[in-house]
Chain A
Amino acid sequence: MTPTGTRKVPTYCYQCVAGPDLLNVVVEDGVAVKVEPNFGVTEHPAGGRPCVRAYGLVQKLYNPNRVKSPMKRTNPQKGREHDPGWVAITWDEALDLLADKLRTIRDAGFVDENGYPKLAVTFGAGGTAPAYLGGFPAFLSAWGAPLDQGIGSGQGMKCVHSEHLYGEFWHRAFTVAPDMPTTTYVLSFGNNGDVSGGVIGVWRHAEARGRGARWIQFEPHMSVTAATAARWVPIRPKTDAAVLYAILNGVLHEHAWRRVCDVAYLSRMTNAPYLVGPNGYYLRDAATRKPLVWDEKRAAAVAFDTPDVEAYALEGEFTVAGIEIGPDEQMIEHASTTARPSFQLLRDHVKPYTPEWAAKVSDVPAATIREVTREYLEHARVGATVEVEGVTLPLRPVAILLGKSVNNGWGGYECCWARTLLAALVGALEVPGGILGTTIRLNRPSSNRLESVRPGPDGFMAQPLNPTSKKDWQARPTSRSAHKTLVPLVSDGSWSGALSPAQLPWLFMGDPPPKWPEPTPPEVWIVGRSNPAISCWDSDLVMSKLKRFPFVAAFAYTQDETNWFSDLLLPDATDLESYQLFRVGATKYVESYWEHQGVALRQPVADSPFDTKDLTDVGTELSRRLGLLERYNEALNRGVALGVPLKTAQYDVSLDASTPHTSAEIWDRACRAATLALSKGREERDLAWFSEHGVYLVPFSRLNWYLHPEMLRKGLRYELPYQERLKRIGAELRARLHEQDIHWWDTQLDEYQALPPWKDFPEIWVDIARRHGKKPEDYPLWLLTSRSMQYSWGSQVSLPLMADVARHVRGHFGIMLNAKMAALHGIDEGDEIWVESPIGRQKGTAMLRAGVRPDVVVAIGQFAHWATPVAEDIQMPNLNALEPIDLSLIDATGSGSDLVRVKVYRTRHGDR
């Protein structure tokens, strides 16, 4: 029976990591007709409003181009030119087929002859996938054997990768945000937060502008965020580190550093006073192995944690006895040696990076650099305090933000280091007004950043690094992205495979480097919410490898460029068709930090128009077919996929492990458990309650936004400025790889430096032409990409409504060029032009702008689809198709920046 009347059904949107945000779907006579904000949720920092993308959800539900039932490939030949020959099958047939393939793996062994898991899964779009996978992760847990998450769909290229890894290492900041409600001054290097910061980011930035906060945007083109900023500073691509280094130089040499820096913070909260020996390692007490500091009062070296040090020496050179501990426990004894505080080394290190030097590198005038340095120091208000919920904390309302392509790929380490250090210099790290980490992914518990702070070596936080010692190093990669072998910083958790050099499988499959087990095509690859044939660099290379995958099962919304190569299309129930309870509030990705925390329900708002299946039911059915039902239910009971255990000492709403349960039953238990946990046993809300109310929230203290009190409580320091640990790890990793005769990762190993110097980063991209047998001077321009609020994270590309709206954004569907530069090339507004890189060319429409550097062209988003309905009609170039997957573009963390050298010219009649 079709329901009649009008209802408002609450649900959430998590189509980008900046959410989840809350909304209502208006349903008339059982048909979803529109999306509205959920104004009832006053706790939401942006008043319960969702962004433009969320308004596409109704069209997303009823899109007639969806995959309408499971489909099986009939054409055994795979390739872009071969139609898969889909035939519709039933869900039973589809799940039987997949289960059979999986059973074969279980029977014959989980790992192939090269050491790689035979089952691989790729769920793209960073943190958003978990909000849509339902109970499926519990199936992966019940699988009970290694599975490979290292086949990349753009990880490292499309995220803020170095920031993820170094940020989490330094201050539990997988993502970094300004404390926007309090900040008064932001220096942003390409952080396009008014597009990618989600509704909360946009709301808070606007509020800050309203109260006079100043935002300076360094960026090669005038993005939306540059437009709303007080000032736009056009900067040469990939030279952000130079400007940051010049600001460091200004603070430490052009200003009286003792006056402008937070000396107490540096002395007690960082490793600035740690003495460094002649070999670059901390000088340590021989007996306790503790790093030494110089106590000015005692005029002697003492262990860093000596309680009554009144004045730490930050400058100078001291004669001391002690040991250095190098790589592989190598002990260097000094009866007497000279040692300097790491702060002194820092000052020496940044001495050459004057504003005049940076101006030459970056095209940013020295006067501008001096001006922002002065403003930064003024706004930092060193010495000021503020009371937060009765606790007095430092107030440092300044933040430096980095954007994608600045904080990943080569130069990402240097930028992240300089930015975090600039915060530390004025004591603005993890305090009100300063920069904050908002989420963690490598440490546990992932739901609580503060709890993850545990004492580690030398007075710093512990970090689950992948071992590099002779004894424990993982010589043979366990994932195709080799995370345990190549990337110590990424640890070995559920996210680590995907957060490593996930381009390597595409590059090395069929063409491995010497002494390296070839990454094999996985026997079964499950892919969903992800389209690597578009979102990864070097699409042609990716497709050439995809062809070789023997069995691909794709959770499919529409036909797309990746599932074109699959064997099975499984139309999973999407946003408005399935159940999931998901954590909201507290501190999450980007600027999503609230003064509340809780859970929100995603639920079916209307009958699904097609034969789709809730992914929780898919997980249950696959588990049942494979005899894993009990393990699957137990995983759910432990809280896997649900985000909350169903049984604790306080409550028990667990599922009977022996029988299958529907998605609604499973999520009903999650609703009860989550509310019992949040209310400490006082309240229990079931699925029916959530269906009506949508969200359950409890207060979340603002004090939890800041790591500072926790660091004080635990007596810990930030591992800045000196990277002794990374230096040692890098040396060990180099030794391990060389012992295996592996030398192709050597350039990456150079990143492990205690104080990273500037390197000529732009030249790395210029050199790509030479590596491909071309002349660099033939590619005089930089092609950059920029996010689109309408399209980012990809789930909207097949919605004509979104295209209709996005055309109001300047340059959205064209190639943006500087107007004067275009005139020199004889290019007019609206001309059809080629953008050509050393590996290919792409067509698009020229859009002339004043707000683009003359040496830059910009293409928004990632398009160039050829199989996705609607998207295939959008003629837009895709940077990814022009950027090679090349070892020289991959940094030590496994990431690469989205930029490529190109030339542009008008198409000629008949060009294809």
Chain B
Amino acid sequence: MRWGMVVDVRKCVGCQTCTIACHEENALPPGIFWRHVVDVEVGEYPDVRRAFLPMGCQHCAEPPCVPVCPTGASQQRADGIVFVQYDMCIGCGYCAVACPYRARHMIHDQEWYFMAPTPSEKKAHDPERHGVMSKCTFCKHRVDKAPAGATPGVDPEYTPVCVSSCIANAMHFGDLDDPTSNVSRLREEHQPGVLLEELGLKPSLFYITE
């Protein structure tokens, strides 16, 4: 089993609903976004294209961010999810340097949106995440909760929140190894590409562009 995502770039409107939903789900401090949507413009007037590219950790099958970690905090699970074991992280930042997708975010100090934490910030923040590296976890806390009979990617409760909150139905999550899964079917049908393919890191995020 290997979790992955297929992003239909034709559908994305760059609304950042997924960005804010992720931020809220994971109770992230100001300025830290594990994923966001890049708003790119290419060409010269009047021949211009503008596109929206949801970006986050690509959960590479061969992640350079894992072996560089001196403590073993940066890990990859058998199902492909790359994550940081916070209590082992010393915040050295090697992994962030190694990641070509700029998907890792150091949380220096817990900061609040106002002078003091609001009741919701106080309640939801994760004290384990001070002074450590952080990144998209593929919402493993949701995925792992799926009871027998429920399928992450099909049941929104157990799906990464960016996917289930998307208001354009632009993102799909599922098992890349299962040929019958939604993501496998989409790959079959649209032959989506990956970002920076030439690096050979075998990302788990696929992008339908045409």
A853 partner residues in chain B, CB cutoff 8 A: 45
Known: A64-B114, A804-B30. Contact between A224 and B120, CB under 8 A? Answer: no
Asked if residues B123 and A224 are in contact (CB atoms below 8 Å), the reply is no
Contact with B along A212-228 (1 / 0, CB 8 A): 00000000001011111
Which single residue of chain B is at the shortest CB-CB distance from A56? B20
Query: Min CB distance, A360 to chain B, in Å?
Result: 17
Is B62 in the interface zone, CB < 8 Å from A?
no
Q: Are A64 and B118 in contact (CB under 8 A)?
A: yes
B156/A206 in contact, CB under 8 A: no
Q: Which of B19, B43, B51 contacts A805 (CB 8 A)?
A: B19
The answer to whether B14 touches A849, judged by C-beta atoms less than 8 angstroms apart, is no
Measured in the bound complex, the distance between the Cα atoms of B36 and A207 in whole Å is 22
Tell me which residues across on chain B come within 8 A of A195, comparing CB atoms. Answer: 13, 15
Contact A34 B25 (CB under 8 A): yes
Identify which of B41, B44, B45 contacts A810 (C-beta below 8 A).
B41
Q: A52-B15, A805-B23 are in contact. Are A59 and B50 (CB under 8 A)?
A: no
| Closest chain A residue to B36, Cβ basis | A808
Q: Cβ of A61: which chain B residues have Cβ within 8 Å of it?
A: 120
Given contacts A52-B16, A808-B14, 18 further A-B contacts (CB under 8 A): A29-B123, A39-B157, A51-B15, A56-B20, A58-B120, A64-B115, A64-B116, A206-B170, A210-B11, A222-B41, A224-B14, A232-B46, A800-B30, A804-B23, A808-B37, A809-B16, A820-B44, A849-B41
Q: Which of B14, B19, B20, B168 contacts A227 (CB 8 A)?
A: B14
Q: Assess whether A801 is in contact with B20, with CB atoms less than 8 Å apart.
A: yes
The answer to whether the Cβ of A699 comes within 8 Å of any Cβ in the partner chain is: no
How far is B94's CA from A643's CA once the two chains are assembled, in angstroms? Answer: 60
> Which residues of A lie under 8 Å from residue B167 when comparing CB positions?
46, 49-51, 199, 202-203
- Name the residue on A nearest B121 (C-beta): A62
Partner of B8, one of A56, A210, A789: A210
- Chain B's nearest CB lies how many Å from the CB of A109? 47
Which residues of A in the span 1-59 have a Cβ within 8 Å of any Cβ on B? 28-29, 31-37, 39, 46-47, 49-52, 55-56, 58-59
**Interface 0/1 of A324-349, CB less than 8 Å to B:** 00000000000000000000000000
- Measured between alpha carbons, how far is A199 from B168 in the docked complex, in Å? 8
A875 close to chain B: CB less than 8 A = no
CB 8 Å contact bits of B150-183 with A (1 = contact, 0 = none): 0000001100010011111110000000000000
Instruction: Please name the residue on chain B nearest to A810 by beta carbon.
Output: B39
* Interface residue range, chain B: 35 or more
B177 CB to closest chain A CB (Å) equals: 26
Question: CA of A16 to CA of B42 in the docked complex: distance in angstroms?
Answer: 31
For chain B, what secondary structure do more than half of its interface residues adopt (helix, strand, loop), or is it mixed? Answer: mixed
Q: Which of A46, A56, A62, A65 contacts B119 (CB 8 A)?
A: A62
Residue B137 interfacial (CB < 8 Å):
no
Nearest Cβ distance between residue B35 and chain A, in whole angstroms?
A: 10
Question: Chain A residues with Cβ under 8 A from B164's Cβ?
Answer: 37, 39, 49
How far apart sit A808 and B39, CA to CA, in the bound complex (Å)? Answer: 7
B-to-A contact residues, CB < 8 Å: 8, 10-17, 19-21, 23-25, 27, 30-31, 33, 36-39, 41-46, 48-52, 113-116, 118-120, 122-124, 156-157, 161, 164-170
- Report B-chain residues with C-beta under 8 Å of the C-beta of A818: 45
In the complex the two chains form, is A55's CB within 8 Å of B114's CB?
no
Q: How far is the CB of A539 from chain B (nearest CB, A)?
A: 27
Smallest Cβ distance from A234 to chain B, in angstroms?
5
A628 close to chain B: CB less than 8 A: no
B170's nearest neighbour on chain A, judged by CB, is: A206
Q: Knowing A206-B169, A850-B43, say if A58 contacts B19 (CB, 8 Å).
A: no
A199-B167, A202-B168, A800-B114 are known contacts. Are A62 and B45 too (CB-CB below 8 A)? Answer: no
- Interface hits, A181-209 → B, CB 8 Å: 194-195, 199, 202-203, 205-207, 209
- Please list the 8 inter-chain residue pairs (A to B) with the smallest Cβ-Cβ separation, ordered nearest first: A227-B50, A206-B168, A62-B118, A206-B11, A810-B39, A55-B20, A194-B13, A851-B48
Residues on A with C-beta less than 8 A from B50 are 222, 226-227, 810, 851
> Are B113 and A801 in contact (CB-based, < 8 A)?
yes
A806 near B: Cβ within 8 Å?
yes
Let me know if B16 and A806 touch, CB within 8 A: yes
Known: A52-B20, A65-B114, A234-B45. A809 touches B30 (CB 8 A): no
A715 within 8 A of B: no
Asked if A888 lies at the interface with its beta carbon under 8 angstroms from chain B, I say no
Smallest CB gap from B114: residue in A: A64
**Chain B residues whose C-beta falls within 8 Å of the C-beta of A58 in the assembled complex:** 24, 120
A854 at the B interface (CB under 8 A):
yes
Known: A65-B114, A852-B45. A227 touches B52 (CB 8 A): yes
Per-residue interface assignment for chain A, residues 552 to 580, with 1 indicating a CB less than 8 Å from any chain B CB and 0 otherwise: 00000000000000000000000000000
Asked if A897 is at the interface of the complex by the 8 Å CB criterion, the answer is no
Chain B residues in 8 Å Cβ range of A512: none
Task: Pick the most buried of A61, A226, A809, A854: most chain B CB atoms within 10 A of its CB.
Answer: A809
A804 to B167, CA, bound (A): 20
Most A CB within 10 A of own CB, among B27, B33, B43, B46:
B46
Whether A609 is near chain B, meaning CB under 8 Å from some CB there, is yes
**Cα–Cα, bound, A202→B8 (Å):** 14
A790 interface residue per 8 A CB criterion: yes
- Which residue of chain B lies nearest to A851 when distances are taken between CB atoms in the complex? B48
Residues in B with CB closer than 8 Å to A63 are 114, 118
Complex-state Cα separation, A30 to B17, whole angstroms: 25
Question: How far in angstroms is the closest Cβ of chain A from B27?
Answer: 8
Complex-state Cα separation, A441 to B166, whole angstroms: 32
Q: Is the CB of B24 within 8 A of A34?
A: yes
Residue of A nearest to B166 (CB): A49
Q: Mark A115-150, 1 if CB is under 8 A from B, else 0.
A: 000000000000000000000000000000000000
Docked pose: A302 CA to B174 CA in angstroms: 68
Q: Which residues of B contact A226 (CB under 8 A)?
A: 50
Task: Given A805-B20, A808-B36, verify A37-B156 contact (CB < 8 Å).
Answer: yes
